[in-house]
């Protein structure tokens, strides 16, 4: 396909989607950092809502306490117009870490470096 020809790929819809998605993520994380109260599941940028998750306060594991980790999961389901963004519970963070030297999917050294800058 050649630019400017009929049927050529137009990057604008992809860029608009990416901008909306990044704005949605940024606003959700900013809103959460302002107040820890309220639901942790947010709606998608298209205005639809994602299924609700109940906040449960399970016992913290030592690794999660050590890092005071706040790890989020973004779910994009192909073929559906919704995007779900929610905070993982400590047990879910541990499952992602899988007993390795990580916090969520990030290496511990990176997590500690970023936490020190914050």
| Token pair in block for residue 76 | 């994009």
The tens digit of pLDDT for each residue in 43-66 reads 554 444 444 343 334 444 444 445
Q: What pLDDT does residue 25 have?
A: 93
Q: Give the whole-angstrom CA distance, residue 92 versus residue 72.
A: 10
Q: What pLDDT does residue 2 have?
A: 66
Instruction: Give domain limits for the chain.
Output: 12-117
| DSSP result, 46-80 | TS--PPP-----PPPPHHHHHHT---EEEEE-TTS
Q: What pLDDT does residue 91 have?
A: 83
Q: Give the whole-angstrom CA distance, residue 78 versus residue 90.
A: 27
DSSP label of 88: P
Q: What pLDDT does residue 55 have?
A: 37
Taking 70 as the pLDDT cut, the residues of the chain under it are 1-3, 35-69, 118
Q: What pLDDT does residue 10 have?
A: 86
């Amino acid at each position: 396909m050649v630019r400017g020809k009929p049927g050529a790929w137009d990057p604008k819809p992809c860029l608009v989607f990416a901008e909306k998605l990044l704005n949605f993520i940024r606003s959700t994380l900013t809103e959460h950092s302002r107040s820890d109260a309220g639901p942790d599941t947010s709606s998608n940028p298209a205005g639809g809502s994602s299924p609700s998750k109940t906040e449960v306060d399970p016992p913290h594991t030592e690794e999660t306490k050590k890092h005071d980790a706040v790890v989020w999961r973004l779910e994009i389901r192909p073929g559906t117009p919704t995007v779900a963004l929610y905070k993982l519970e400590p047990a879910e963070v541990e499952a992602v870490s899988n007993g390795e030297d990580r916090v969520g999917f990030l290496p511990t050294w990176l997590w500690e470096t970023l936490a020190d800058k914050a």
